[in-house]
């Protein structure tokens, strides 16, 4: 065997040894953690699309399914997520000389209670906010689904990073 092949074998063996607590997504999940549960995040924002609650909840589930080897369970997971959508609003930005907004920002805030039953020190409750801007010439209802999808991607990645990547 050459030195190069020995080094490659050592690197591969090392990666397999650490596979239980590290993934290439940046997640650092204790090997004792096997399951994740995500409760429905109800919408408490006064003005929001009817489906925003379901879309956010499913997006958060999808992040854990696609970026970890955890099993999604209905309730009582080793990692538990619950909370609510607390803010959803469109606000004008970039006011022009004629006092008309050139851009509008859709903001969404989600309050998250994360419980890590294996390591309680990792648990938290906090709010996460993200936004997307769109042209004020566009009707919100015409672009809302796309904006929500983009906001959900950002929010769920922030929540993922805060809960399992120690960011």
Give the DSSP per-residue string, 120-157: GGG-EEEEEEEEEEEETTS-HHHHHHHHHHHHHHHHHH
Strands 35-38 and 79-95: parallel
Parse the chain into domains and list their residue ranges: 32-164
Position 96 pLDDT exceeds 80: no
Residue 103 has pLDDT above 70, yes or no: yes
Give the model's pLDDT for residue 48: 85
132-153 tens-digit pLDDT: 999 988 888 899 999 999 999 9
Mean pLDDT along residues 15-24: 41
Global pTM value: 0.81
Its CATH architecture, for the domain 32-164, is 2-Layer Sandwich (3.30)
Q: What's the rounded Cα separation, in Å, for the pair 23 and 35?
A: 16
Neighbouring C-beta atoms of residue 144, cutoff 10 Å: 19
Predicted confidence band of residue 97 (pLDDT cuts 50, 70, 90): low
Which of left, alpha, beta for 32 (phi over 0: left; psi -120 to 50: alpha)?
alpha
pLDDT band for position 17 (cuts 50, 70, 90):
very low
Say if residue 41 is exposed, middle or buried (CB neighbours under 10 Å; 0-12, 13-18, 19+). Answer: buried
Q: What backbone torsions phi and psi does residue 61 show, to the nearest 5 degrees? A: -60, -45
Quick: pLDDT tens for 23-75.
Answer: 444 578 899 999 999 999 999 998 888 899 999 999 999 999 999 999 999 99
Position 109 confidence tier, pLDDT thresholds 50, 70, 90: very high
Q: Give CA–CA dist 71/50, Å, rounded.
A: 28
């Amino acid at each position: 065997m050459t030195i190069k092949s020995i080094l490659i074998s050592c690197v591969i063996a090392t990666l397999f040894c650490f596979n239980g607590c590290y993934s290439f997504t940046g997640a650092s999940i204790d090997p004792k953690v096997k399951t994740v549960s995500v409760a429905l995040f109800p919408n408490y924002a006064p003005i929001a699309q009817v489906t925003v609650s379901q879309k956010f909840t499913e997006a958060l589930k999808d992040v854990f399914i696609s970026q970890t080897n955890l099993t999604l369970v209905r309730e009582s997971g080793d990692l538990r997520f619950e909370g609510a959508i607390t803010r959803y609003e469109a606000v004008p930005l970039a006011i022009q000389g004629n006092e008309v907004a050139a851009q509008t920002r859709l903001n969404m805030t989600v309050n998250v209670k994360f419980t890590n039953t294996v390591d309680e020190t990792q648990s938290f409750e906090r709010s996460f906010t993200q936004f997307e801007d769109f042209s004020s010439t566009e009707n919100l209802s015409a672009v809302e689904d796309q904006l929500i999808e983009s906001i959900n991607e950002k929010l769920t990645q922030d929540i993922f990073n805060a809960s399992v990547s120690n960011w």
